[in-house]
Amino acid sequence: MKTGIVGATGYGGAELLRILQAHPEFSITSLYTSSQKGKNIEEHYPHLTGLFPQKLEEINPVKMAEETDLIFLATPSGISSKLAPELVENGCSVIDLSGDFRIKNQAKYEQWYKKEAADPFWIEEAVYSLPELNREKAKGAKFISNPGCYPTATILGLAPLVKENLLAENSIIIDAKSGVSGAGQSASLATIYSELNENLKVYKVNQHQHIPEIEQMLESLGYKSPITFQTHLIPMTRGIMATIYGRIDTKITKEEIWDLYQQFYSDEPFVRLRKLGSFPTTKEVTGSNFCDIGLDFDERTSRVTIVSVIDNLMKGAASQAVQNANIMFGLEETLGLQFSPVYP
């Protein structure tokens, strides 16, 4: 199938190139840009020298739909809201990696993203697909909204407990940390070396735009209360660790909780559980589509601690988009994604 990428010069776009180059069913035919028309991708990314002969093309929805079967939109929020509907209307399948169609409530999107929301018709048309929880909706879809990075790690960490209604109301607290690649390539004071190196920063306290996405998904699973969610920037390139806390008032043991997770994710190829007493690190999922989860339960405080790690550019963006593309077209879900993490 012919695929195109809008935003190939971004970090998420570069990872899509790496994955799709070796995919047996998707062929990269076109790369699109809003600012670098006519250039080769290797001028932006020398590590891709000789791998992609296509020159970067301008964005023209009608022409793009004629040239491709599937477009990945690896763009900042605010762009896909106008571009995605035009592509779908012209017969092209779309997977959007931005946040423009994740929030079903227009007012909430505008409140948290500080941008104009997409047309309500297209917000409903877009299938929000975190594959492990709602892959059935993605099968045969024409338009998929890919989950955010923090929500992916957080929701997968919480889903088994939420589905069983085991977490007390107003008890979820998420302490999340991300590598600097999550901020993209745009230069800012917060991400320059002298500010980031040997430093740890909390940011967007109680204001992160992924809060409503997490709450929306948790509500669909049965948890109605708001969450406390704080994010931190750490001096590494990629990776997310979400350390999640919640209160369980039901009498239960840590072994029973671990068994619950084991059953819940037993058939999921990209969720790996650690044995009790063992917790994952970000490096152990680098460059992969895995989400690794470890947990413990403190009977003294009735609090469960869940540690969930992903590569923010992979399971948090590009490889999850390819996982969704496989589902969309009825392919084996793991196709093109069966590679181990990069280590060390």
Task: State phi, psi for 206 to the nearest 5 degrees.
Answer: 60, 15
| CB 98, CB 79: distance < 8 Å | yes
Is position 291 annotated as part of the catalytic site?
no
Quickly state the pLDDT bin for 151 (edges 50, 70, 90): very high
What fold, for 150-310? Answer: Dihydrodipicolinate Reductase; domain 2 (3.30.360)
Two structure tokens written together for 212: 């409503």
CA–CA separation, 274 and 309 (whole Å):
11
Split at pLDDT 50, 70, 90, the class of 37 is: confident
Q: What's the whole-number mean pLDDT along residues 272-290?
A: 97
Chain-centroid distance of CA 37 in Å reads 28
The predicted structure's pLDDT at residue 315: 98
Q: What is the pLDDT of residues 93-108, one digit of tens each?
A: 999 999 999 999 999 9
| Per-residue pLDDT at 36 | 85
Active-site pick, 56, 73, 123, 149: 149
Task: Look at residue 187 and tell me whether its pLDDT is greater than 90.
Answer: no
> Domain 2-146+317-328 is in which class?
alpha beta
Helices (H), 145-273: 149-163, 193-196, 211-221, 254-264
Average pLDDT over residues 133-137: 96
What is the DSSP pairing of strand 228-233 with strand 173-178?
parallel
Apex CA 41: angle with CA 39 and CA 43, to 5°? Answer: 70
Report pLDDT for 186.
81
Residues 138-157 have a mean pLDDT of: 98
Chain centroid to CA 336: 17
Percent of the chain with pLDDT over 70: 100
> Which amino acid, 195?
E
- pLDDT at residue 121, rounded to an integer: 98
Q: How far is CA 184 from CA 9, 11, 97, 223, in A?
A: 10, 7, 13, 32
Q: In the chain, which segments carry CATH 3.40.50.720?
A: 2-146+317-328
Within 13 Å and on the Cβ side, how many CA atoms surround 164?
16
The Cα 143–Cα 126 span in angstroms is 5
Residue 76 — pLDDT band, cuts 50, 70, 90?
very high
Report pLDDT digits (tens) over 218-227: 999 999 999 9
Residue 35 in contact with residue 58, Cβ under 8 Å?
no
Q: What DSSP character marks residue 146?
A: P
- Indicate where the chain has its CATH 3.30.360.10 domain(s): 150-310
CA distance 303 to 111: 32
Q: What is the pLDDT of residue 185?
A: 85
Q: CA-to-CA distance for 126 and 64, rounded, in angstroms?
A: 19
pLDDT given at position 238? 97
Give pLDDT tens digits for 202-212: 999 999 999 99
Task: Say what the pLDDT of residue 332 is.
Answer: 98
Helix H segments across the chain? 11-21, 41-44, 61-67, 80-89, 106-113, 120-125, 131-138, 149-163, 193-196, 211-221, 254-264, 318-328
Query: Long-range contacts of range 113-116, CB-CB < 8 Å, 24 or more positions apart?
Result: 113/77, 113/78, 113/209, 115/77, 115/78, 115/81, 116/78, 116/81
